[in-house]
Structure 1
Amino acid sequence: MLATRIRRWKSVALATTAVLVGLTAPALTATPAAATTTAYDATYYKNAVGKTGTSLKSSLHTIITPQTKLSYSAVWNALKVTDQDPNNSNNVILLYSGVSRSKSLNGGAVGNWNREHTWAKSHGDFGEVTGPGTDLHHLRPADVQVNSIRGNKDFDNGGSSVTNGGGSLTDSDSFEPRDADKGDVARMILYMAVRYDGGDGFANLEPNESVNNGSNPYMGKLSVLKQWNAEDPPSAFEEKRNQAIYDTYQHNRNPFIDHPEWVEAIW
């Protein structure tokens, strides 16, 4: 059963006070994130609730690091469960394009779907190794050709239309997912930055403000990812996926799906 989620919008006290006393309030650059409460706050997240900044990031790292790790071959069958089309149990929903495609069409040929690493394998040189290379929280089924077009590009706004990409855009050094997947991508990338901090033999993954990060253990652009997280809040599909990974496979959670406001609290 999905965790109960209660959302409430934070009041903007500064703006309200300014209006009451007849002053001009400073313009807000973004809508305040929704504060959330989940059934896991008193248990799984109990050592993180109430913290901010590096303290929150460190606490979340400690919480989500214990996990059951899958082999890369086992990821195929796991994705058939975590990304199942809610309207057709024979299909999976593909990242970036939003297409519903038969589970049996997994592979490397045109018309197939394969395993997309949202945190590109070369950005940290972890390949398909058990751990970051097989972590379901950033692995999603994607059309083979669309996945190839994304390649290892950083994420940013702009570019030209991706063929069969569902509205995704790309240019020489970045990729912009379709609107419905922007928040998903942001929360997957930031999960990876918290989970893999260099302390378990893998590179210290971090978001930054660059594109063309190449083989460096960085992924950009952080400001854009934050914007996407705010504009595209977690969907029922994303929440169900997080729950399936926690219950059945890795037994850890993506905290930014449960608490999207923690993105702003850390970064």
Structure 2
Amino acid sequence: MLAIRNRRRKAVALATAAVLAGLTAPALTAGTATATTTTAAPHAAAYDDAYYDDAAGKTGDALKDALHTIISDQTKLSYSAVWDALKVTDQDPGNSNNVILLYSGISRSKSLNGGDTGDWNREHVWAKSHGGFGTSTGPGTDIHHLRPSDVRVNSVRGNKDFDNGGSAFTDSGGSLTDSDSFEPRDAVKGDVARMIFYMAVRYEGTDGWPDLEVNGQVNNGSNPYMGKLSVLKAWHQEDPPDAFEKRRNDVIHDSFQHNRNPFIDHPEWVESIW
């Protein structure tokens, strides 16, 4: 088993290098530091698809159960280690000194991590109060759903569920919010959806953490649910995985947690499960 895993990681490392070589820098809107998605070289075969052998041919709950078992084999990070991990996973392809902030698209210095205005911090895309897991090692430190975010923007998002609609706000980058929901900018709507789907499969209540589930509503409060399922599925379809998201999945697997987000590798599995 160890030999198989090592072969898989070696394949990922080689393919990740190929992906990095093919990436182009995000285009910047004139007069701003906001990155927009650009076309990159075709994504290399970044992993050994034998990783998903136990999910082959399955659908529905059987597929969800198989994927849960596969992706639960992971290395867990401490919350302090997340800072350094995000500086790698979310590095700006056009400026290795910066990270791209999830909701605003701004490219900001890696050194400006913290809690002050103008800093970036660690955003839990699955709001950590939805299930009450906080920042403890496990779902609270799983970098498949932790992303750099402007401190102010992170505060605006708070623990709101995801839905369409709302108004723009300072440094929103195209994201919108209202009293009970948050809509990310178009370029990362699919990314957000796939992070939520990952969490709903990875954390099934079998390892001491709540059973996280996606549902069809907002205002989920402290319950272990995130919505809105119909909207997240639409975002997943409208914004398929791009080179940045695929590279991020590769780097997490190869260098940090050694597990993958299956909905980046196999987008069709969203419809198979939900």
Which TM-score band (shorter chain)? 0.7 to 0.9
Match of 1:115 among 106, 117, 122: 122
Partner of 1:221: 228
Distance in 1, matches of 2:108 and 2:45, equals 32
Partner of 2:61: 54
Match of 2:89 among 82, 92, 95: 82
Question: SS of the counterpart of 1:45?
Answer: helix
Partner of 1:259: 266
Distance in 2, matches of 1:266 and 1:246, equals 23
Distance in 2, matches of 1:238 and 1:53, equals 25
1:41, distance to aligned residue in structure 2 (A): 6.2
Partner of 1:209: 216
Is the aligned partner of 1:194 residue 2:201? yes
Q: RMSD of the TM alignment (CA)?
A: 1.8
Distance in 2, matches of 1:238 and 1:252, equals 15
Partner of 1:103: 110
Contact 2:47 2:250 in 1 (8 A): no
Contact 1:2 1:239 in 2 (8 A): no
1:2, distance to aligned residue in structure 2 (A): 4.2
Distance in 1, matches of 2:46 and 2:133, equals 34
Partner of 1:29: none
Which residue type is aligned with residue 63 of structure 1? Answer: I
Contact 2:46 2:250 in 1 (8 A): no
Question: SS of the counterpart of 2:53?
Answer: coil
Match of 1:130 among 123, 137, 141: 137
Distance in 1, matches of 2:95 and 2:230, equals 36
Match of 1:71 among 78, 92, 96: 78
Residues 89-113 of structure 1 show CA distances to partners (whole Å, capped at 9, x for unaligned) of 0000000100000000000000000
Contact 1:82 1:244 in 2 (8 A): yes
Match of 1:161 among 168, 190, 194: 168
Distance in 2, matches of 1:180 and 1:227, equals 13
Runs of 5+ unmatched residues, structure 1: 6-36
Which residue type is aligned with residue 153 of structure 1? Answer: K
Distance in 1, matches of 2:218 and 2:232, equals 12
Distance in 2, matches of 1:178 and 1:253, equals 24
Which residue type is aligned with residue 188 of structure 2? Answer: D
Q: 1:234 to 1:166 in 2, by over 3 A?
A: same
Which residue type is aligned with residue 114 of structure 1? Answer: N
Distance in 2, matches of 1:55 and 1:175, equals 31
Distance in 1, matches of 2:18 and 2:130, equals 35
Residues 187-232 of structure 1 show CA distances to partners (whole Å, capped at 9, x for unaligned) of 0000000000000000000000110001000000001000000000
Partner of 2:152: 145
Distance in 2, matches of 1:183 and 1:206, equals 18
Partner of 2:245: 238
Question: SS of the counterpart of 2:231?
Answer: helix
Distance in 1, matches of 2:173 and 2:47, equals 34
Question: SS of the counterpart of 1:215?
Answer: coil
Match of 1:94 among 79, 101, 117: 101
TM-score when scaled to structure 2?
0.84
Which residue type is aligned with residue 258 of structure 2? Answer: H
Which residue type is aligned with residue 200 of structure 2? Answer: A
Distance in 2, matches of 1:68 and 1:48, equals 21
Q: What is the aligned residue count?
A: 237
1:49, distance to aligned residue in structure 2 (A): 2.1
Contact 2:16 2:251 in 1 (8 A): no
Percent identity, aligned pairs only, is 76
Runs of 5+ unmatched residues, structure 2: 1-14, 20-43
Distance in 1, matches of 2:167 and 2:187, equals 18
Partner of 2:34: none
